[in-house]
Amino acid sequence: MSRTPLHGLKVVEFAGLAPGPFAGLILADWGASVTRVDRVDQTTSTDILCRGKRSLAVNPKVPDGRDLLLKLISDADVLIDPFRPGVLEKLGLGPDVFLGKNGLNSRLVYARLSGFTRTGEYKDMAGHDINYLALTGVLSMLPGPDGKPGFPLNILADFAGGGLMCAQGILLALLSRSSTGKGQVVHSDMVSGARYISSFPLLHSLVKSPFFGDGSERSANILDGGAPFYNVYTCKDGKFMSVGCLEPQFFAVFIENFVKALPKEFTSFQGGWQPTLESRTDRDTWPELRSFLERGFKTKSRDEWARVFYGTDACAVPVLTPAEAAQASSPLPAPHPELLQTPALPLPSTARHAKASLNLKPGHHTEEILMELGLTAEQRKILDTSGALGGEAKARL
């Protein structure tokens, strides 16, 4: 089997919330050796993005613990810092220690991931995905109930703008290092990252295109739920179908198959109104078209409608639940994209193994990692008695 693209890469990931662990997961999936640094007072972890990682539990506030981390990071290729600005500096582990003049590791890629931008009025405030998204301009454009914007779980800022953009920055810095021989600091934040990910709608709002208008009016444009032919509809069984027939040729296929599948009594119940190909561009008829589709989809179950459109260019497919989507592919979302010559590491082969991969006990690999760093039994004992590995510091006799 070919080596994975990141084979031999050593990554130190300080334990944090979702975005940092996701950046580490991406690197681990492609073969990097990722060591998560956990707190010594943790016995369990809520981090489920730990596949392929190891855990070292250490107290950086104890001098011996900080020295251990200095040694670990000095031997690493990448450091993932998920904390607010200044936290690692206070611990004596800031970027200047490694990348400054006479630094300990000039090849280190020091990746810093924050929520708000690192400068500005919000930089020292706590926040979460919805707060970061609020500052991008994108949240105001998203359709939602009761006239207020909705939000796509915590995907857009945390994972797309945060973890994914951080991983991209790491890979770019590693690529640069291959020619310069030097590491660097990578600054990523979820506000800026989510704005970059959202370039398409934000740029369209600048030119006031029909896809999003100028961004000031939600659910009134083609891609924000305003168009009846780009939306989600409830079926007879309470499940859903997605419709996205934007182009005229796809709209024609959709309407033909939809009308043909309706019960005979449906057209008379509707007063005889039926959509035409012109309904796609005639906004005055969109309310009638929306009502027609809403009522029509409720005449059959989701799976019945899925069979109607299967194999066609109607751009209409069922909305699957997480369990259904897993059945169609695998229990875990697979690493992507697919590299044919140097693929990612294989996923666990069974659902039981997949669930087991979601749990990494803090400190589970501490002894193993200490031995890999070349620490003798006596040195490991000193770490233990000093409290660097947890517990009360013990007097050295």
Each residue of 107-141: pLDDT tens digit? 999 999 999 998 889 998 999 999 999 999 999 99
Question: Is the predicted pLDDT of residue 245 greater than 80, yes or no?
Answer: yes
pLDDT score of 199: 97
pLDDT score at 393: 60
**May I ask the CATH architecture of the domain 10-197+332-386?**
3-Layer(aba) Sandwich (3.40)
Residue pointed to by tokens 């936290």: 87
pLDDT digits over 324-333, tens only?
999 888 889 9
pLDDT in the model for residue 351 = 79
Only one residue has tokens 């697979």, namely 334
Question: What's the pLDDT score for residue 216?
Answer: 84
Task: Identify the pLDDT of residue 392.
Answer: 66
**Model pTM score:** 0.93
- Is the pLDDT score of 268 beyond 80? no
Q: Which residues contact 103 (CB under 8 A, 6 or more apart)?
A: 96, 97
**Given a cut of 80, is residue 308 above it in pLDDT?**
yes
Report the CATH fold assignment for 230-234+240-318.
Answer: formyl-coa transferase, domain 3 (3.30.1540)
What is the reported pLDDT for 348?
86
Query: Chain-wide mean pLDDT for the chain?
Result: 93
Question: In this predicted structure, what is the pLDDT of residue 381?
Answer: 92
pLDDT at 178 over 90: yes
**pLDDT per residue as tens digits for the range 358-389:** 999 999 999 999 999 999 999 999 999 999 99
Average pLDDT over residues 62-80: 97
Q: Is the pLDDT of residue 318 over 90?
A: yes
CA distance 4 to 335: 12
> pLDDT value at position 397?
42
Q: Look at residue 349 in the predicted model and tell me its pLDDT.
A: 79
334 DSSP 8-state letter? P
More confident residue, 351 or 172: 172
Q: Is the pLDDT of residue 395 over 60?
A: no
Catalytic-residue membership of 158 = yes
Domain range summary for the chain, segments of one domain joined by + = 10-197+332-386, 230-234+240-318
> Shortest CA distance to 55 belongs to which of 312, 368, 343?
368
Cα 183 to Cα 170: distance, rounded to the nearest angstrom: 10
In single-letter form, the type of residue at position 263 comes to P
Q: Which DSSP state fits 239?
A: -
Query: Rounded mean pLDDT of 244-256?
Result: 98
How far is 214 from 217, CA to CA, in rounded Å? 7
Residue 71 to residue 25: CA distance in whole angstroms: 23
List CB contacts of 262: < 8 A, sequence separation 6 or more: 296, 299
**pLDDT (mean) for 135-155:** 92
Q: Is the pLDDT of residue 191 over 60?
A: yes
Q: What is the dihedral of CA 220, 303, 238, 235, to 10 degrees?
A: 50
DSSP label at 156? Answer: I
Q: Which of 300, 283, 188 is nearest to 227 (CA)?
A: 283
SS3 content of the chain, % helix, strand, coil (to 5): 40, 10, 45
Among residues 81, 158, 189, 224, the one annotated as catalytic is 158
For residue 334, pLDDT beyond 50:
yes
The helix-helix angle for 248-261 and 302-309 (nearest 10°) equals 130
Is it true that the peptide bond before 331 is cis, omega within 30 degrees of 0?
no
Q: Cα–Cα distance between 28 and 307 in angstroms, integer?
A: 39
pLDDT digits (tens, 9 = 90+) for 215-224: 888 889 999 9
Report pLDDT for 256.
Answer: 97
